[in-house]
Structure 1
Amino acid sequence: MDNKEKSFVSAVVYAHNSGKDICSFMEMLINELEKNFESSEIILVNDHSTDGSIEMVKDICHNASTCSVSIVHLSYFHGLETAMNAGNDLAIGDIIFEFDSTLLDFPADTIMNAYKELLAGNDIVGVAPDKDESFSSKMFYRVFEHFTGTKMCSERFRVVSRRLINRVNSVNKTVPYRKQAYLTAGFHSKILRYKQTADKSYVKDKAEQKNRSKLAVDSLILFTEFGYRLSKFLTISMMIISLFMIIYSIVVYVSAQPVEGWSTTVLFLSISFFGLFAILTIIVRYLQLLVNLVFKHKRYCFDNIEKITK
């Protein structure tokens, strides 16, 4: 007991149709927390799983002794960020491990390595595989870094301090994209790389894939100048087209070779309205995000909270 860490730690785990991976993952996590910490808790956020994976993992959770395990059942599919925010709101640990999936391709001791890096003076330690992420993720992070100057990568999990969580929550009523909110909070951060123990990839169903794609677009609009620059580009393009049409009309008039103007007018109006509505779409998206941030303090709905262990 004397060799165990005194800090109370929480582990928030996201689960949505995790299949058989969740059993081996939870078994590993419970074992590591009980082996290294005197007091710990696991909050498993069940984001409306329909594959029976949550029922499969309950027997493993019942075997926990010093680690408290709770399962938060969300009443309908909320998506990764909202579900993890729900878990973080319930976590009481001084240090919080955030597992965005139950994919287990890292050595078990990586958990304690990340914890030690946090104690070394960091408030957020991201844990990422040493190989490159998927093409879509790589492109997203490149665009994000280009517009914000913030370097990010696909993390398997992260460990954050309580003071970082408190800082982010005091600034934002809701946290639409935790990674960016953490990195802009002003605290020290570090990325810890590991060599994958298995050649696995996280398989998302259609609902989760759609949610993460929407999250990527929302994050680019909310945290970067992507929307502004796109609208600026469209505006300049419209001006150039307008100028070209003016010059074209003058040349036709001066050359005394009049042509039917209906098709030209329709083409010009079509392009102009296309650009105008594109700009309006971006503005409307901005307003929608602002409304969500200002008025929707709690965007998740509990079905029930099931206490597995005392």
Structure 2
Amino acid sequence: MKSELFVSAGIVVNRPIPSLKDELAAVQRTLNALYSDYEILVIIQGPVLQQVSDAQAADILSNIPCIRFIQLSFAVPSDVARSAIVENAIGDFVLLFDLAADPLELIAEAVAACQRGSDIIVGVSILAPSPLYRLGRRIASPLLASIDYQLPANATDFRCVSRRAINAVINTGRSHHQLNLRLQKTGYPSQAIAYEQKAEARRDRSLPQACRQFLHLLVFNSSRPLRWMSGIGLLGSLIALIFACYSVLINILKEKVMEGWTTTVLFMSIQFMLLFLILAFISEYLGRLLDERRGIAEYAVVSERNSRTMVNDQRVNVLTDSV
């Protein structure tokens, strides 16, 4: 017997997919077998017609029910596209699903776990990352813990989120930066589900990619690193003052002072390193402030198209269980 839950499955299309119709049909069959009410929300990255052609979209909408195509005017970061799913989905439970990485069997398991009381279901890959990535994660863990980073290790982008958790994210600030972390910070109970990603999606994260993501996690989710840079600046100033006092005392107490070229260069190098480190963090925060105050929407919707059939014609307005 089908569940009477309303489930929204959100998918982001970042590139042309020749087999998109077949993959969406597989998702639709899975949802139709499990739930009486559902929708498949497909966010198509811009530019228009670059990822999905008009003919391909018309073919899909004519033959597969319960699909909503939302075309964005320009390409946006992954977090923004996933936020568009969260803001436009209407289901009781919303799945953030990746066609290339997530197996269909994960849908029923995640929704069932979410229904049992865990408002946020987090996908975790059972495949171990590369040794270099594990080393970097171990080094970065204390800093991540300081900004209340609570995501499990090796977490993927798969999520199943309840309606109240989605409302909390939307109502408590900007959800477009690090959506996964903002979901965790809602305070609602979460649960991790381990699964094996599809073979074509298995790839090690590169060190530059991990470093860039780590920096974004620090900057866009806490102002604490800015306080750290203030402390480093004060420490550097104190060291400079101590060295200045030391050089004055040496000139007073000694008649002949040898030129300390190596010491001077070393000291100046350390000071400039601290200076540019502070400037790097300040520039990131300035960029964050400019992005948040420029008053431009994170994404723009060009069009929204729906399947010819959006409601199950076999459904009657009678529930088997009382609400």
Please give the range of the TM-score, normalised by the shorter of the 2 chains: 0.7 to 0.9
- Structure 1 residue 25: Cα displacement: 3.6
Partner deviation per Cα, 1:167-200 (whole Å, 9 max, x = no partner): 1111114431111111111101000012345363
Residue aligning to 1:13: 11
Which deviates further from its counterpart, 54-63 or 116-125? Answer: 54-63
Matched, 1:150 2:146: no
Q: Distance in 1 between matches of 2:196 and 2:174?
A: 37
Which residue pairs with 1:103 in the alignment?
A: 100
Larger mean Cα displacement after TM superposition, 86-95 or 15-24:
15-24
Quick check: 1:239 aligned with 2:235?
A: no
SS in 2 for 1:299: coil
Structure 2 equivalent of residue 70 of structure 1:
68
Structure 1, 173-182 or 275-284: larger mean CA deviation:
275-284
User: Closer, same or farther in 2 for the Cα pair 1:43/1:197, shift >3 Å?
Assistant: closer
C-alpha contact 2:93 2:161 (8 A) present in aligned 1: yes
* Structure-2 change in CA distance of 1:242 and 1:119 (3 Å): same
CA distance in 2, matches of 1:151, 1:230: 25
Which of 250-259 and 159-168 deviates more?
250-259
Query: For each residue in 1:17-52, what CA deviation from the matched residue of structure 2 results, as whole angstroms up to 9, or x when unmatched?
Result: 154574554232122112211111111111226996
**Worse-matched range after superposition: 243-252 or 153-162:** 243-252
**Displacement of 1:74 after TM fit?**
1.4
The answer as to whether partners of 1:44 and 1:69 remain within 8 angstroms in 2 is yes
> Separation in 1 of the partners of 2:143 and 2:31?
34
Superposed, which structure 2 residues align to 1:289-308 within 5 Å?
289-290=288-289, 292-293=291-292, 296=295, 298-308=297-307
CA 1:264–1:109 in 2, change beyond 3 Å: closer, same or farther? closer
The CA distance in 2 between the partners of 1:246 and 1:126, in whole Å, is 56
TM-score by length of 2: 0.76
Contact 1:9 1:93 in 2 (8 A): yes
Q: Is 1:195 matched with 2:192?
A: no
Residues of 1 paired with 2:173 and 2:134: CA distance?
25
Distance 1:116 1:276, change over 3 A: same
Query: What amino acid is aligned across from residue 120 of structure 1 in structure 2?
Result: R
Measure the CA separation in 1 of the matches of 2:41 and 2:163.
16
Partner-residue secondary structure (3-state), 1:6: strand
- The 3-state SS of whatever aligns with 2:151 is coil
Uncovered stretches (5+) of structure 2, i.e. residues with no partner: 310-323
Aligned residues: 299
Matched residue type, 1:300 = Y
Deviations 1:267-309 (A, max 9, x none): 8667545534532442343344245446647311222223344
- Secondary structure of the residue aligned to 1:40 is strand
- 2:52 maps to 54
Query: Which amino acid letter does the alignment assign opposite residue 167 of structure 2?
Result: N
Instruction: Tell me: CA distance 1:29–1:240, structure 2 relative to 1, closer, same or farther (3 Å).
Output: same
Q: Which has the higher mean CA deviation after the structures are superposed, 115-124 or 213-222?
A: 213-222
For residues 28-86 of structure 1, the C-alpha deviation after alignment (integer angstroms, 9 at most, x for no partner) is 21221122111111111112269965249634454223xx2122221111111111212
1:175 match = 176
- Does structure 1 conserve the Cα–Cα contact (< 8 Å) formed by 2:87 and 2:170? no
- Among 113, 117, 132, the residue aligned to 2:113: 117
The answer to whether the 8 A contact 2:40-2:68 is kept is yes
Say which SS state the counterpart of residue 8 (structure 1) adopts: strand
Gaps of 5+ in 1: none
Name the CA shift for 1:130/1:21 in 2 (closer, same or farther; >3 Å). Answer: farther
Deviates more, 1:266-275 or 1:168-177: 266-275
The code of the aligned residue for 1:117 comes to A
Relative distance call for 1:5 and 1:213 in structure 2 (3 A) is farther
Report the residue type matching 1:229 in the other structure. Answer: W
Higher mean C-alpha deviation, range 142-151 or range 132-141? 132-141
Q: How does 1:231-310 map to 2 (within 5 A)?
A: 231-258=230-257, 272=271, 275-290=274-289, 292-293=291-292, 296=295, 298-310=297-309
TM-aligned CA distance change 1:168 to 1:149, over 3 Å: closer
Mapped to 1, the partners of 2:257 and 2:120 lie a distance apart of: 69
For residues 5 and 264 of structure 2, what CA distance do their matches in structure 1 show?
Answer: 71
Change (3 A) 1:142 1:275: closer
In structure 1, the partner of 2:162 is 161
Q: In structure 2, what is the Cα distance between the partners aligned to 1:203 and 1:264? A: 43
| Cα distance in 2 between the residues matched to 1:145 and 1:274 | 23
Q: Which amino acid aligns with 1:118?
A: C
- TM-score where L is the length of structure 1: 0.79
What is the DSSP-based 3-state SS (H/G/I as helix, E as strand, rest coil) of the residue aligned with 2:46?
A: coil
Whether contact under 8 Å (1:17, 1:50) holds in the other structure is no
